[in-house]
Structure 1
């Protein structure tokens, strides 16, 4: 997710497609924190749907049933799996957008050496996910982990590059 002035904030007033206004449906805006993206759009008076996930458990097939609610289950994906939670909205021209939360990239989508963050919000979200996973790691290990900083760094790099996460 990027802050004001970024891709999210700039989709309005920008020609994304040469298609007739309202004819582009299923445009994706990938965000690392669905709630933060919804909050930003709602703050800009955009009518954004509540979070939802696919009724079938896998978001496959044409986008139209998801944009207009026929295959939606209320709330984020129960397992908080990456690529599975959405919200939708229409831009001022009537084009249909899907916000899709991606917290861990699939293998091959990001190079490990290319780990970077576009904003402090994005880094903070990654740190919160690492902290939560690290808490479970400490429970399994039976106590405090003095190498927590190394563990967090490894977790965040693996998450961004789509590698298996440490346990």
Structure 2
């Protein structure tokens, strides 16, 4: 199975293009507290639990490393509980992701792939180990399903190309601060190696401390 082809739009973005950043997906549930316990058990960050009288409650949670969150609650959607099917959760290592999620109580399927784009589903990892082509699924207590997709190498135009100047500036300032704490006791290295690993980690939703550790690990690997 070959990797999916990148389909380009008719017009390239211009300086006047307005960013439309997907930040929240609404998940319909029947029991708010049960859903909250389930997603917390998976290690998803609890961002807020808001109420406005007896008929409205909204919970926001965020998967580890994700820039997009979920909302569920009472009075926030008329969709049938369990009707959300297969929003993608991107992982860099399917087996590690499955092991962690299963260890946290999720009933994760075995890996599978497709014979071709739009073709039949087949058991096991993609035999050619192509990025984007290995999947697994699990569901929450209502039956809302999630699709894990393993991506090891992204298609051109994906990832940091969507960063705006202000966001990248803040990331660089953040990296500069972290590197300033790392450099005095570090072995001789090029600052760009540490910055790159740090910024990628921050872009994946890691904390400053986690990103600094990623930068240090990368320097260790480069110098090894």
Shorter-chain TM-score range: 0.5 to 0.7
1:1-150 matched pairs, under 5 angstroms: 4-5=43-44, 7-8=62-63, 15=72, 18=77, 19-54=79-114, 56-58=115-117, 60=118, 71-111=120-160, 116-117=200-201, 118=204, 149=222
**Structure 2: which 5+ residue stretches go unaligned?**
1-41, 46-61, 169-198
Deviations 1:48-92 (A, max 9, x none): 1000101x222x38xxxxxxxxx3211111111111000011111
**Structure 1: which 5+ residue stretches go unaligned?**
62-70, 128-147, 151-167
1:28 is displaced (CA, Å) by 1.2
Q: Secondary structure at the match of 1:53?
A: strand
Count of equivalent residues: 113
Larger Rg: 2
1:27 is displaced (CA, Å) by 1.6
Query: What is the alpha-carbon distance in structure 1 between the residues aligned to residue 87 and residue 44 of structure 2?
Result: 19
**Higher normalized strand content (fraction of residues):** 2
Misfit runs of 4+, over 4 Å = 112-115
Deviations 1:80-135 (A, max 9, x none): 11110000111111112110011111100123697502456xx6xxx8xxxxxxxx
Q: Which structure would you say has the larger RCO, counting Cα contacts within 8 Å and 6 or more residues apart? A: 1
For the aligned residues, what is the CA RMSD?
Answer: 3.7
Query: What is the alpha-carbon distance in structure 2 between the residues aligned to residue 30 and residue 15 of structure 1?
Result: 21
Distance 1:104 1:76, change over 3 A: same
Q: Structure 1 length as normaliser, TM-score? A: 0.54
